[in-house]
């Protein structure tokens, strides 16, 4: 996917919609007043995350090796921490790849946020009775 290790969540191909919903739920919950918070070192992500579409051409160039990209988005925290989330559909499964963007400290914070979002996505899927193995 990139030179950094992405985090990945997979479900059966027929559950792609549930996977997309779970990712959006994880993004919404990350900025909620209660519940688990993303943190990096002693910095706690208490602000609301912002999600936007990721340019399809950029997503194909950067992450095209992952498979057939269905949709891609970017999640931004604290104006300087960005995670790209790419949804890929294959014959047997659907996957969401969470990859931190940036350099230096921003890249480390982004990797932490990517891990947090992948973990929260798995929890949301599990609450719906959908098994997603750790990848």
Indicate whether 106 pLDDT > 70. yes
Residues in the chain: 135
* 54 vs 117: CA distance, rounded Å: 17
CATH of domain 7-127: 3.30.310
* 35 vs 12: CA distance, rounded Å: 28
- Would you give the DSSP letter of residue 47? S
Q: Per-residue pLDDT tens for 69-85? A: 999 999 998 778 899 99
Q: Are 35 and 16 in contact (CB under 8 A)?
A: no
Mean pLDDT within 53-75 = 88
pLDDT the model gives residue 97 = 94
Is 71 exposed, middle or buried (CB count within 10 Å of its CB: 0-12, 13-18, 19+)?
middle
């Amino acid at each position: 996917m990139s030179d950094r290790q992405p985090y990945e969540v997979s479900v059966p191909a027929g559950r792609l919609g549930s996977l997309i919903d779970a990712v959006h739920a994880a993004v919404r919950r990350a900025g909620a007043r209660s519940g688990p918070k993303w943190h990096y070192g002693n910095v706690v992500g208490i602000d609301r995350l912002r999600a936007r579409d990721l340019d399809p051409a950029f997503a194909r160039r950067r992450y095209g090796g992952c498979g057939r990209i269905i949709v891609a988005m970017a999640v931004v925290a604290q104006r300087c921490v960005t995670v790209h989330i790419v949804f890929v559909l294959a014959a047997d499964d659907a996957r969401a790849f969470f990859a931190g963007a940036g350099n230096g400290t921003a890249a480390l914070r982004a990797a932490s946020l990517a891990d947090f979002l992948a973990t929260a996505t798995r929890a949301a899927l599990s609450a719906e009775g959908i098994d997603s193995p750790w990848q």
